[in-house]
Amino acid sequence: MSNQAVATVSDTYDLWIDGDERPATTDERLAVVDPATEETLTEVAMGTADDVDDAVAISRNAFESWQRRPPEERSRLLTDIGTAIREEKDRLACVETLENGKPLSEARGQVERVARHFEYYAGIADKIQGDSIPLSEEYVDYTVREPLGVTAHIVPWNVPIYLFARSVAPALAAGNAAVVKPAEETPIGALELAKLATETGLPDGLLNVVPGFGDDAGAALTGHPDVDGVTFTGSGPTGKAVAKGAIENVTEAHLELGGKSPNVIFPDADWEAALDGTMTAIFTNAGQVCSAGSRLLVHEDVHKDFVDDLVERVHELDLGPGIEDADVGPLVSRDHLKKVLDYVDVGRSEVGDPVTGGSTLDRDGYFVEPTIFDDVPMDTRIAQEEIFGPVLTVTPFADEDEAIELANATDYGLVAGVYTENIGRAHRFAREVDAGQIYINEYFAGGNETPFGGFEDSGIGRENGVQAIDNYTQIKNICANIGRR
Ligand code: NAD
């Protein structure tokens, strides 16, 4: 690793509260490990329920003046934060790669999207409008959208800085104060972003980061009686527990959960685009993407040829440290590597050996080869359960009806991709498939501006786009009796 990359991470981190570093109320610190080398990058203070109490109280105080700031001031500040993030792009990308493992070029793309989150919601901060509602002539009625107050943000480890910004930027734009609990594996990016926002001029106390364990700091935050909104991004079981904790306080939780998304190839698809899209869909971030296209459905007429070409492409992939910008980096942790390898074993017992991959690398780091299982029945565990690694299942189908049936044959409904030159078929597929986003002829098409979230077990609510503002505002209706002439 280059000295420049190492220099991007401090030796130690505390919590970020009230615009400054603050030690936790216990001495417990957790090592953050570089998944490409298994070496400790830094140690981070682990916040507790007491620290969460502190952060929420400070946020409440900061919220009182922030909500009264003219919206254009909020807008200008968020624009400045976006600019500051762009200026720090290389450093922040290094941080993301070092703690998560993803290739540096992917991390740079994520930093762009983080900056864009602040810029996009800066553009909305002064356009959060209400309605005028016609009633009989003695009344004037209108609505205003008010911020919730203190919002809680639970972030997972797979795209830590992007997912931090995805919910924090609209929350701040709408006039809230935010408390963030990053994942145990990847707390550095959140701490660095909060520090940068403070240095750029964000008032102290508006954005607090409390690293800590999920069942301690995380549960304390999402179940806190003085928190007014919860955004949880992570696994289904944790999401359900978080939503139960929040509802005890009559607080709404938005849940962005997992997926097992289909990517469907019809025989008339643009062959190269379909191959490119399939590779991107499953091997981006080593498959650790909620919206990964982890179930490839291919028409039986082209199934064998498509898989042959896919395997050829997989053999060209370079697997190595993200900091060297390999095509595919390591998985995030030893625990996660074990989970993914267990699924590879399940796959072997369910359908036989993969047509490619399935092994680890003979070196330090949590590397697993890009892996493809072919001819996978839809009732197997590897076709139904989220593996969250570079493991693709392939299932042939006979016609459009079967493609739609297979696409809908899991409990998830996050996204779906389809490759076909037949515009009618593409839009029939989009109408019939139960998922929050549909990609036609480009997997992952869309961006920060397009609403994202799941049907069924993939979640509740939408992030991104103007719709996300709904998560961080509440409607007040004002009705005046003005009498009759
Ligand atoms: P996880 O649920 O184990 O952890 C996510 C976060 O929740 C972490 O910060 C963790 O510390 C915290 N947490 C754990 N227990 C908690 C509790 N009791 N109360 C409050 N917080 C708690 O998930 P993970 O393994 O870190 O993340 C991977 C999952 O996230 C996958 O299922 C993936 O699909 C999903 N994900 C979804 C999206 C989306 O936008 N839909 C995006 C990224 C990841």
pLDDT at residue 29 above 60? yes
Give a yes or no: residue 204 inside a domain. Answer: yes
pLDDT at residue 2 above 60? no
Q: Pull the structure tokens for residue 348.
A: 């072997």
Query: What's residue 8's pLDDT?
Result: 81
Whether 164 and 247 map to the same domain: the answer is: yes
Q: Is 93 in the pocket of ligand 1 (CB under 6 A)?
A: no
Arithmetic mean of pLDDT, 29-49: 97
pLDDT at residue 158 above 80? yes
Whether 154 and 194 map to the same domain: the answer is: yes
Arithmetic mean of pLDDT, 429-441: 98
Arithmetic mean of pLDDT, 40-54: 98
Ligand 1 pocket test, candidate residues 110, 179, 210, 233, most atoms within 8 A of CB: 233
Q: pLDDT tens digits for 228-251?
A: 999 999 999 999 999 999 999 999
Q: pLDDT tens digits for 342-389?
A: 999 999 999 999 999 999 999 999 999 999 999 999 999 999 999 999
Ligand 1 pocket test, candidate residues 167, 235, 240, most atoms within 8 A of CB: 235
Nearest-angstrom CA–CA distance, 370 and 344: 11
Maximum separation of any 2 CA atoms in the chain, in Å: 87
Whether 379 and 359 map to the same domain: the answer is: yes
Nearest-angstrom CA–CA distance, 416 and 446: 13
Whether 309 and 217 map to the same domain: the answer is: no
Expressed as residue numbers, the domain containing 375 is 262-453
Arithmetic mean of pLDDT, 330-340: 98
Whether 318 and 401 map to the same domain: the answer is: yes
Q: pLDDT tens digits for 99-109?
A: 999 999 999 99
In angstroms, what is the span from residue 224 Cα to ligand 1's centroid?
A: 18
Task: Give me the number of domains the chain comprises.
Answer: 2
Whether 246 and 380 map to the same domain: the answer is: no
Considering the chain, what is the average pLDDT of its residues?
97
Exposure string of 457-472, with b = 16+ CB inside 10 Å and e = fewer, is bbbbbbbbbbebbbbb
Query: What's residue 5's pLDDT?
Result: 55
3-state SS class at 450: coil
Query: What's residue 3's pLDDT?
Result: 42
**Residue 200 burial (CB count, 10 A):** 18
Query: What's residue 6's pLDDT?
Result: 47
Confidence of residue 7 (pLDDT cuts 50, 70, 90): low
Q: Is 287 in the pocket of ligand 1 (CB under 6 A)?
A: no
Percentage of the residues of the chain whose pLDDT score is greater than 90: 98
Q: Which residues contact 39 (CB under 8 A, 6 or more apart)?
A: 33
Q: Is 238 in the pocket of ligand 1 (CB under 6 A)?
A: yes
The dihedral region occupied by 422, where left means phi > 0, alpha psi between -120 and 50, and beta the remainder, is beta
Query: What's residue 396's pLDDT?
Result: 98
Q: Pull the structure tokens for residue 181.
A: 């609990």
Whether 105 and 252 map to the same domain: the answer is: yes
The CATH number covering residue 270 comes to: 3.40.309.10
Are the C-beta atoms of residues 225 and 425 closer than 8 Å to each other?
Answer: no
Q: pLDDT tens digits for 195-207?
A: 999 999 999 999 9
Arithmetic mean of pLDDT, 170-196: 98
Q: pLDDT tens digits for 200-228?
A: 999 999 999 999 999 999 999 999 999 99
Q: Which atom of ligand 1 is nearest to the CA of 238?
A: 2
Give a yes or no: residue 482 inside a domain. Answer: no
In angstroms, what is the span from residue 219 Cα to ligand 1's centroid?
A: 12
Are the C-beta atoms of residues 147 and 71 closer than 8 Å to each other?
Answer: no
The CATH number covering residue 100 comes to: 3.40.605.10
Arithmetic mean of pLDDT, 425-432: 98
Give a yes or no: residue 373 inside a domain. Answer: yes
Arithmetic mean of pLDDT, 430-455: 97
